[in-house]
Structure 1
Amino acid sequence: MDSIQKTATEEKITIDSLDENLDESSNSETKNTSLDRVIEITKLMSHDTEKALDTINTINKKTEFLAINALIEASRTGDAGKGFQVVAESIDVLATKTKEAVEKMRKETISKMSELGKIIEEQSVNITGNRLADLALTNIDLIDRNLYERTADIRWWATDNIFGKALLSKTKESIQEAQHRLGTILKSYTVYYDLVLVDLEGNVITNAQADKFDISNQNFASKQWFQTALKTSNGSEYGFQSVHRSSTSGSHTMTFSCKVHENGDPNRPAIGVLAAVFNWDGLAQRIVNETPINQDEKEKTRVCIVDENGTILADTQNRILDKFSIPKMNDLFAKKQGFVKISQRGKEQLVCHGLSHGYETYASGWHSVIVQDISNN
């Protein structure tokens, strides 16, 4: 019991350190916020300059009009108006030069400001894309690390000879002892919904939550976790059923399984299968929902975990088990990490990705995705 409690306490690091592992994204968020402000100021300056040039043009047109009127009046007054005519002609020349200067400024300065704005905006997109891709990679790393612990749990527990005795004798006493043992484990490992012991035909021998979930008359021979466990060489390997909705609890679960051998020895014949029903939502939904995204970004950001077939396994929009599909998805998913800019449903979006690279002997092979609408300031 002490050993179980110690291991359970140690493994909490995977989840409890979530905020600590993701804090380093804050610096890039600050940089990107500053760039967004620069983009906004650049566009405002360009707009204000354009307005100022329009105002100068309006004044210049009035000046030209006055110069024309002055020339007309000067010609009507003959010699008396010659001095005034010189002034009017000078004003006209000045208006023409002002007009030329305005057009040159509009052509050169405004275009350069526009070009500068585009460069800064592109840089902002790159910073955001890389930051979100880093967060996506962190998310899938946290999941792989946690699921590695699950594969270790099931292989360890399957060696407990109490389960072997229950499978071989199937007496009331041995089954009660096995149920008690499963219950003791479950109390310390609260990340699981249930632990189930079945024979080689898939018939339930007992389960940890027998008082809550009576499955004593059920057969799980058709379940993926049972079939994959039987296909393993021995208890040093594990079976697995990916994310699915539990018919018992209605929650999204994953199931890890392992052969049980005589005397807990993987070199001896297998006599049954032990399965652990894992609380997937408790892990994955917490990770995606607590991804450190700026508060002002959250409404325009979606965080997902997607399997190799495009099935959504975790999602801030809660569309779990739906299909995820975007333009350029195959190209993006082929890379270990990166992002693409796409147009979808009338929106410009950044799709940022991190591929599972595994932890120790386990790799989910899944994809972590963060989709964010791009603001058009």
Structure 2
Amino acid sequence: MPNTALQQNDVFLPYMRDVVRSEQSLRELNLMWRMIESSAKMNYLPETKSILQTMSATRAGFDELEQELVTNLVNEKIANVLMEIGTKAHYVIDIVVRNLYERTADIGFLATDHDLCAFVADMHDDADAILTRLLAYRNKYTVYDEIMLLDKEGSVLMHINEHSDVEGSTDKLIAQTLASETYVETFRETDLRPGNQKSLIYSQRMLHPLTNEVVGILCLCFDFEKEMRGIFNSHRDPEQRSNMLLLDSENRVIASDDELWIPLGAVVPSNRGRSTSLMMFGGRRYLVRTFVAEGYQGYMGPPGWQGQVMIPIEIAFLENSQSRLASLDPAIADGLLSHAQSFSPPLYKIMQAAETIQRVVWNGQVMTAGHSEHLLQLKSVLEQISETGNRSNELFSLSISNLYETVLGSSLRGAEFMSHLLVDLLDRNLYERSDDCRWWALTPELRDVMAAPERTSAMLENITKKLAYINGLYTVYTRIFVYDTNGRIIASTKLAYHGADSVVIGTNIDYTTLQSVLALANEQAYYVTPFAPTPLYDNLPTYVYHAAIRHPEKPNQIVGGIGIVFDAAPEFSAMLHGGLNGKADTTALFIDRTGNIIASTDPERPVGTALDINAEILKQENGTSTSTITVHDKHYTSMGCTVSNGYREFKVSDGYKEDVIAVVFEYFGGVRECNTIRNKTATILDADSTELGGKQFATCFIGSNLFAIPAERVLEALSASAILPMSMNGFEGRIGMLAIKLENGDKKFVWVFDLGYMIRGKATEITTSSQVIVVQNEEKSFGLLVDDLHGVPEFSDKHITSTPFSKSAEGALVSQVIRANNGNLLIQVLDVGYICRTLKTGEMPSMPDELVIQQAA
């Protein structure tokens, strides 16, 4: 083992108690095999040469397996923790950047508001009306806790925070904003927000409505602390073992999930790569993952900001008492495990090593069969081989289950958290849409035109330009349109991604939508159409957000409405693909409460089709997340699901109800047929079923059934991967040849026959666990392909019953049945003589002469 692996084990093993227990058990068994080998050497007889060779191979295999298993368990557990905290760190910065992207659009739009610009330009002095307008904006966009209007000298003309007595500013952001043609993003302490350690402010200069001269500045102050609390509350570790952080470019903490644990302003170590090195902070060692922003719609967020999660090493690997495997259908568990080579190479490698040792132990037990009476001095050694072999098999199964549990648990937690993130992104995005439609309905130009007794073409042209300007800032919409109280569309932007606009001006919105808009009680209310195809979106399904346009002087009088068409197809697709973050063999979907698909990354499941999913998932409460291993599209998958829970007041207290469920599938491999699945737990033999001194049988699996061959007829078992396929005419059950090593070093080739084909008439699929049992009948030896090995138990006569077919002159393939585990487990005994006779009679190919190749001198 490389020194780096040993060093890593030394660092992490003290914190992995379950791995330490496995390591100790392996070492104890390793010591047992060494003692057995030593005892066999002390009682050496020529007949025991092959047994000693088996002992040596078993011990060597144990040495390798012990190191590989411990190292891979350590590596897998480290990788899982890094994956989990890395996923959270990535989502922290991703959610923040997506949210702040919306702020860049807001400041660009509001800074051009005619009424606000006129007030700053001193064209009127109706301060009450301006305050009312700013408060209306804050009531729509609740992410802001302060909005300010400043003149060119930095004097505050108007602000909405009644608890602040700020009158002016000398901050350098004043000059920066006045000199910039776009927004300025500031995050630091500023005299504009006295008492705040740091504030996140978006500022943009304002122009005179007539001369376009710079007259002042608009500042939107983002409620940063509340937003970060919301992110942390939604996505924190429920066991509170880790801390989520937002860092600046100097690795200084600007937001902390737990400020008593890691305070604001602290400089912490970061890990932008996948380093497994432990990092020290505050006298504790941590595993750390750090991510910088990948950007959203070209916006990269404030320079240098990073998402980070830190977990102390002493609690990073605490055992979870909930076993996923215990509740999993054994057929699914075994079938999924057969794909370990693709979804977990370390697990597959361990399984292969364990299979090899199990085969060696099985062979050792077979070799000792029937020798006890002739080798009395080795009797205790042979009994120890059998007993220790059984203990070894149990330990292998337990150790593989531990690693399997680790891999599955990681996948399930990842799928569940990913689904949680996706619905969070969706609700946060659609929250902005509900804000936009209500605010734009208050646009003075729109209200004046819609309230006018007559609308001239010039008036309609002006509001069309206004809508186009808005649409240019907010690219998530394909169309923004206004309509009168009869539902007739009088102005609209063009369908964004089409060369020619589909004609909507002059058409009417549907009756249900119109009546819903006309019934809106106040300017805080809005209406959303169900997710369905609409001619406003080229007959594709989407949400259309509506708000009532009210008379500028009579707020209770509705004079029309505004509709904004959400560009659902690319926006939802971007959310899903962004949430998956390039993860292979994974698909994600948004569905409604009926299972209807709203968005999908699966080309086989387009929008509008139904997802076949458990009805209980569709009934889950809002905010609930679940995960399970299931079969989907004839593949084993881990499935994570989360039901939306709203964002701020959206879908929570604003009267709008439209639940969406995010579903994530991670695929592991195709479903295996039942004949390749073996529930080994159900075939463990009770102590009462076996008896020392009884008849010994070599047991094996054909599909899910146990078969037995008298142990004295068995020479050895070899991996099916050693079969040399040969193209043969005639009998399909003959599948190739196998080389057997003789004691003198020569090789003997024997035919291999598919025992599964002989029993069920269907060819056996060769998998990684497939074995060939070499049997002997008189002077003939041949191989039988089986699905897996089981053991070499001893049964007394009271457990063995002859079948009625065994009395026929021709004999029978199954001559006896062993009733084990109080009759709950039936083991069918194969008649090797009958098999050999069948092969000779012509029903199957004639038994060939054995081909012996002498070892080269």
- For 2:422, the aligned partner's letter is N
Return the offset for 1:251.
4.4
Write out aligned runs for 1:211-360 (5 A). 212-222=501-511, 224=513, 226-247=514-535, 248-263=537-552, 267-292=555-580, 295=583, 298-299=584-585, 301-318=586-603, 319-327=606-614, 329-330=616-617, 333-334=620-621, 336-344=624-632, 346-360=634-648
- The counterpart of 2:359, out of the listed 51, 65, 71, is 51
Q: What is the alpha-carbon distance in structure 2 between the residues aligned to residue 264 and residue 310 of structure 1? A: 46
Q: What CA distance in whole angstroms lies between the structure 1 residues aligned with 2:553 and 2:668?
A: 56
Instruction: Report the CA distance shift for 1:330/1:237 in structure 2 as closer, same or farther (over 3 A).
Output: same
| Structure 2 unaligned spans of 5+ | 1-105, 113-181, 184-201, 203-221, 223-294, 311-316, 318-340, 652-657, 673-767, 769-857
Instruction: Indicate if the aligned counterparts of 2:427 and 2:646 stay in contact, CA closer than 8 A.
Output: yes
Is residue 258–residue 274 contact of structure 1 (8 Å, CA) maintained in 2?
yes
Could you list the per-position Cα deviations for residues 250-295 of structure 1 after superposition, in whole angstroms to 9, with x for gaps in the alignment?
5443211100001186x33001110001111222101112324564
CA distance in 2, matches of 1:43, 1:355: 38
Offset of 1:220 from its aligned partner?
A: 0.9
Among residues 473, 485, 498, which one is paired with 1:200 in the alignment? 485
- CA deviation after TM superposition for structure 1 residue 130, in Å: 1.4
Question: What amino acid is the match of 1:235?
Answer: E
User: Structure 1 residue aligned with 2:350, among 16, 19, 42?
Assistant: 42
Q: 1:56 to 1:285 in 2, by over 3 A?
A: same
2:628–2:639 Cα contact (<8 Å) kept: yes
> Does the CA-based 8 Å contact 2:421-2:579 persist in structure 1?
no
Counterpart position of 2:160: none
Which of the numbers 434, 445, 465 marks the counterpart of 1:162? Answer: 445
**Which blocks of at least 5 consecutive residues in structure 1 are unaligned?**
26-30, 69-88
How many Å separate the matches in 1 of 2:612 and 2:377? 62
For residues 10-43 of structure 1, what are the alpha-carbon distances to aligned partners after superposition, in whole Å with 9 as ceiling and x for unaligned? 89x876579x999879xxxxx9x9x945533432
SS at match of 2:530: strand
In the superposition, relative to structure 1, how do residues 2 and 372 fare at CA in structure 2: closer, same or farther (>3 Å)?
Answer: closer
The answer (yes or no) to whether the contact 1:162–1:174 under 8 Å persists in 2 is: no
Distance 1:42 1:345, change over 3 A: same
Q: Deviation at 1:180?
A: 1.4
Structure 1 residues 188 and 320: CA distance shift in structure 2, 3 A: same
- Give the SS at the match of 1:368: strand
Q: CA RMSD in A?
A: 3.6
Tell me whether 1:177 sits opposite 2:462 in the alignment: yes
Deviation at residue 316 of structure 1 after TM alignment: 0.7
Select the residue among 83, 86, 109 that pairs with 1:4.
109
Higher helix fraction (1 or 2): 1
- State the match for 2:419 in structure 1: 136
**Correspondence for 1:102:** 385
Q: 1:264 to 1:149 in 2, by over 3 A?
A: farther
Deviates more, 1:322-331 or 1:100-109: 322-331
Structure 2 contact 593–618 (Cα < 8 Å) conserved? no
CA displacement at 1:236 relative to structure 2: 1.6
Q: Distance in 2 between matches of 1:187 and 1:293?
A: 28
Which residue of the other structure, out of 367, 371, 374, is the alignment partner of 2:661? 367
Counterpart selection for 2:401 from 118, 128, 134:
118
Q: Distance in 2 between matches of 1:190 and 1:358?
A: 23
Moved over 6 A (4+): 5-11, 20-25
Q: Does the 8 Å CA contact 2:594/2:618 hold for their aligned counterparts?
A: no
Would the alpha carbon gap of residues 294 and 263 (structure 1) be closer, same or farther in structure 2, given more than 3 Å must change?
closer
CA spacing shift, 1:337–1:17, aligned 2, 3 Å:
farther
Contact 2:437 2:547 in 1 (8 A): yes
- Pairing 1:190–2:475 present: yes
Say whether the 8 Å CA contact 1:5–1:188 is kept in structure 2.
no
Q: Which moved more, 1:42-51 or 1:190-199?
A: 42-51
TM-superposition CA deviations, 1:176-205 (whole Å, max 9, x none): 221111111111211111111111111111
Q: Check conservation: 1:258, 1:275, Cα contact below 8 A.
A: yes
Corresponding letter in the other structure for 2:533: R
The letter for the 2-side match of 1:191 is: V
- What is the letter of the counterpart of residue 273 of structure 1? G
Query: Structure 1: which amino acid aligns with 2:666?
Result: Q
Deviation track 1:314-336 (CA, whole Å, cap 9, x = no partner) reads 11114212112323643773361
Instruction: Tell whether the 8 Å contact from 2:481 to 2:491 is kept in structure 1 after alignment.
Output: yes
Identity, % of aligned positions:
14
What is the aligned partner in structure 2 of residue 78 from structure 1?
none
SS in 2 for 1:237: coil
Contact 2:631/2:637 (<8 A) preserved: yes
CA separation of 1:219/1:293 partners in 2, compared to 1, >3 Å: closer, same or farther? closer
Structure 1 residues 368 and 273: CA distance shift in structure 2, 3 A:
same
SS of aligned partner of 1:50 = helix
Distance 1:44 1:328, change over 3 A: farther
Decide whether the 8 Å contact of 1:22 with 1:291 is kept in 2: no
Between the two structures, name the one with larger relative contact order (CA 8 Å, sep ≥ 6). 1
More strand by share: 2
Q: 1:184 to 1:346 in 2, by over 3 A?
A: closer
Normalising by structure 1, we get a TM-score of: 0.77
Q: Given the two structures, how large is their TM-score scaled by the length of structure 2?
A: 0.36
Partner SS state of residue 339, structure 1 = strand
Structure 1 residue 244 displacement after superposition:
2.9
Q: Which moved more, 1:49-58 or 1:174-183?
A: 49-58
Kindly provide the amino acid, as one letter, of the partner of residue 460 in structure 2.
Answer: I
